[in-house]
Amino acid sequence: MQKNLYDLLEVSATASPDSIAASYRRLHARFAELQGGSEGEDATNQLIALREAYSTLSNPERRAAYDEKLASRAIAEQAQMSEPRSHAKLLVLLALIGACGFGYARYQSNLAQQAVLEREKAAAEVRLAEIEAQRERERLERERYAARQAESQREQDERRARYERERDQEYGRQVSRDLQRQEAAAQYEKQRDEQRKVREEQQRQNEAERRLAQDKATLRRMEAENARRYY
């Protein structure tokens, strides 16, 4: 059996407007969650059908017209199931069905136009969502790029600081080595001066001892000559 708008909203034909609204919100929330999944297209079609049903049943005049259409359909179905009692009743029934059919055709035309508008609206919402998603992806990409740039700049600054620190340390070590070499050279010169002074002092002592030995030899020779002279 084909579902009517009441069946689509899962309410009875005697449901109050509040019950119809509550059921519509519940079903709309359920299918809205399914739009982003694998059943997205079916969920979108179901949402369109729900909006059309709620648009009809939430309007008292449209709901009354729809109830009349349902009643006419029920009468037609009953007439098909039972034999006509009279030709006059059959003519009246056919006229009523014709009038309902004309009204139903106009109603279906309106529904078709609303469905087209709803589909266009849904497509526009999808496109808007895609644009927003693309903007969000671009924003995230810009943030990631800025983060990479900041990280690269930070690494360059660290390398530059490390290079300057190592250069300063090497300069300090070079200065320390130069000072050590200068101190070693000064110490070496000092030791050479001291050794030279020791050698010069040793030479003076040797020269003094040599002269003293010569003087002693001369003195002994003179003493020996004096002794021979007296004897």
**CA-to-CA distance for 223 and 10, rounded, in angstroms?**
161
Lowest mean pLDDT among 21-30, 48-57, 174-183, 210-219: 174-183
Lowest mean pLDDT among 40-44, 45-49, 55-59: 40-44
Comparing CA positions, the residue from 110, 15, 30 lying closest to residue 67 is 15
For residue range 109-168, list pLDDT tens digits in order. Answer: 566 566 555 667 655 565 655 667 578 788 868 988 777 997 979 999 899 879 689 897
For residue range 186-199, list pLDDT tens digits in order. Answer: 888 888 989 999 89
The domain made up of 5-139 has a fold known as Helix Hairpins (1.10.287)
Domain spans of the chain? Answer: 5-139
For residue range 14-40, list pLDDT tens digits in order. Answer: 999 999 999 999 999 999 988 877 777
**CA-to-CA distance for 81 and 35, rounded, in angstroms?**
42
Q: Which helix (H) or strand (E) holds 172?
A: helix 87-230
CB 122 within 8 A of CB 114: no
Residues 42-48, mean pLDDT to the nearest whole number: 91
pTM over 0.85: no
